[in-house]
Amino acid sequence: MRTTLQSVQSAQSLDDLYPLLAANHLTAGWHKKRASLWKTPNTAFLPRHWSYELGRLALDQAGRWIGTELAERRNLLLFNPVGDNDYDTVRTMVAAYQMIKPGEYARPHRHTPNALRFVLDAKPGVFSVVDGVQLPMLPGDVLLTPSGCWHSHFNDSDSNAYWIDILDVPLVHLLEPMFFEEFGQAHQPVEQQPLSHPFWFQSAQVQSELNQAPQTGGVRRVPLHTADHFLTQALNFIQLQPQASTQKHRSTASRIFSVAQGSGHATVGELQVTWQPGDVLAVPSWTEFEIRAHETSLLFEVNDEPTLKKLGFYKESA
Ligand code: 1HN
């Protein structure tokens, strides 16, 4: 300490001072390597599209070699190819394609991150169990497993089942409150098999709400009522008439879109892609996007608006 103080004391210039500061884990605010403030959001995350056709085929292939005993979950992470990232889909969320075969049981666990499933292909007999409540997973359904809820999945049908998982794991990584726990038994005891549940949004119910929703410019929106259980993410279904599009839009929220029905085209920043059922689009923060339908289509959107709004960080561009 004494010698460090003496060295600093005897510095003859800033250039003498900087290495002494660095050796003591100090850096001059006027001399830092990188800007820390910028005029407008400057995400490193890239607009991206993933094909369900490819994801599904790859899961079928993986299923030849990987079982649910080996893999707690048989899933493929949709990572954003930025830097050395091999996990995050956008800054705050990760999406994955998951497949479970007939007779399989994906064992129970719980964790800090909030998770949701959007079901792509499944026959009757596929279920998630959330805190002892058994909920059916049928195509178009959305199921929540909020932070801290025990969850497992099983397939008693005669066909493979496929869905998209979306979790706020990257947000939990950023803020660091991660906890994870295995249930300790292979199966979760089932206590209830309700006909409806706040964690279960059935496709037919969403369809009937869409039919009653006002249409503007060929677009109908149905927000899912998740705010009481799901504090970080918001969920919407968006129905587009043929040739209708979401208006050009940009906000500080990150978004993940999955295709429930139909096909079309999307512009996300510089990216131009066509999309079909099961495909996924990543819309990073402050990236302008417009999604246009070629036929009557249904999109499922998950965004982190609730996180940004609670913190006072939500903005849309004028
Ligand atoms: C997870 O717990 C599930 O429970 C799926 O099905 C995907 C991706 C990252 C971290 C945890 C599941 C996941 C996940």
Q: Which domain holds residue 62?
A: 52-203
SS3 297: strand
Name the residue at shortest CA distance from atom 7 of ligand 1.
165
36 found inside a domain: no
3-state secondary structure 202-245: CHHHHHHHHHHCCCECCEEEEECCCCCCCCCCEEEEEEECCCCE
Name the residue at shortest CA distance from atom 6 of ligand 1.
73
Query: What is the distance in A from the centroid of ligand 1 to the CA of 286?
Result: 27
Question: Given the CA of residue 111, which atom of ligand 1 is nearest to it?
Answer: 2
Candidate from 74, 75, 180 with most ligand 1 atoms within 8 A of CB, to mutate: 75
Give the domain-ending residue among 181, 203, 225.
Answer: 203
User: Do 86 and 117 have their domain in common?
Assistant: yes
SS3 80: coil
Give the domain-ending residue among 203, 226, 254.
Answer: 203
Q: 173: Cβ below 6 Å to ligand 1? A: no
Cα distance between residue 99 and residue 71, in whole Å: 11
Whether the per-residue pLDDT at 120 is higher than 80: the answer is yes
Q: 234: Cβ below 6 Å to ligand 1? A: no
User: Do 177 and 68 have their domain in common?
Assistant: yes
- Collect all residues with Cβ–Cβ distance below 8 Å to 296 and sequence separation of at least 6: 239, 240, 241, 242, 261, 262
Query: What is the distance in A from the centroid of ligand 1 to the CA of 312?
Result: 29
SS3 142: strand
242: left (phi over 0), alpha (psi -120 to 50) or beta: beta
The answer to whether 98 and 74 have CB atoms below 8 angstroms apart is yes
pLDDT of residue 2: 78
Give the domain-ending residue among 162, 180, 203.
Answer: 203
Q: 110: Cβ below 6 Å to ligand 1? A: no
User: Do 106 and 142 have their domain in common?
Assistant: yes
47 found inside a domain: no
Cα distance between residue 160 and residue 162, in whole Å: 7
Q: How confident is residue 318, by pLDDT bands cut at 50, 70 and 90? A: low
Question: What distance, in Å, lies between the first and last C-alpha atoms of the chain?
Answer: 54
Question: Given the CA of residue 145, which atom of ligand 1 is nearest to it?
Answer: 4
Give the angle subtended at the CA of 270 by the CAs of 90 and 284, to the nearest 5°.
Answer: 15
As given in the structure block, the two tokens for residue 40 are 């407008």
Whether the per-residue pLDDT at 114 is higher than 80: the answer is yes
User: Do 177 and 221 have their domain in common?
Assistant: no
The answer to whether 79 and 280 have CB atoms below 8 angstroms apart is no
Number of domain units in the chain:
3
Query: What is the distance in A from the centroid of ligand 1 to the CA of 20?
Result: 46
46-71: buried (b, 16+ CB within 10 Å) or exposed (e) per residue? bbbbbebeebbeebeeebeeeebeee
Q: 283-308 pLDDT, tens per residue? A: 999 999 999 999 999 999 999 999 99
Q: Is 313 exposed, middle or buried (CB count within 10 Å of its CB: 0-12, 13-18, 19+)?
A: middle
Strand partners, 298: 239, 261
Q: How confident is residue 68, by pLDDT bands cut at 50, 70 and 90? A: confident
User: Do 219 and 188 have their domain in common?
Assistant: no
Q: 129-149 pLDDT, tens per residue? A: 999 999 999 999 999 999 999
Query: What is the distance in A from the centroid of ligand 1 to the CA of 165?
Result: 7
User: Do 60 and 153 have their domain in common?
Assistant: yes
The CATH number covering residue 172 comes to 2.60.120.10
As given in the structure block, the two tokens for residue 162 are 């496929």
Q: 161: Cβ below 6 Å to ligand 1? A: no
pLDDT of residue 125: 98
pLDDT of residue 126: 98
Give the CA count within 13 Å in the CB-facing half-sphere of 33: 4
Q: Pick the closest to residue 156 from 194, 128, 118 (CA basis).
A: 128
Candidate from 130, 167, 173, 188 with most ligand 1 atoms within 8 A of CB, to mutate: 167
User: Do 68 and 128 have their domain in common?
Assistant: yes
Q: 6-64 pLDDT, tens per residue? A: 999 999 999 999 999 999 999 999 998 899 999 999 999 999 999 999 999 999 999 99
User: Do 173 and 89 have their domain in common?
Assistant: yes
Question: Given the CA of residue 151, which atom of ligand 1 is nearest to it?
Answer: 4
Q: 42-58 pLDDT, tens per residue? A: 999 999 999 999 999 99
39 found inside a domain: no
Angle, in degrees to the nearest 10, between helices 2-9 and 14-23: 160
Q: 143: Cβ below 6 Å to ligand 1? A: no
Q: 69-103 pLDDT, tens per residue? A: 777 899 999 999 999 999 999 999 999 999 999 99
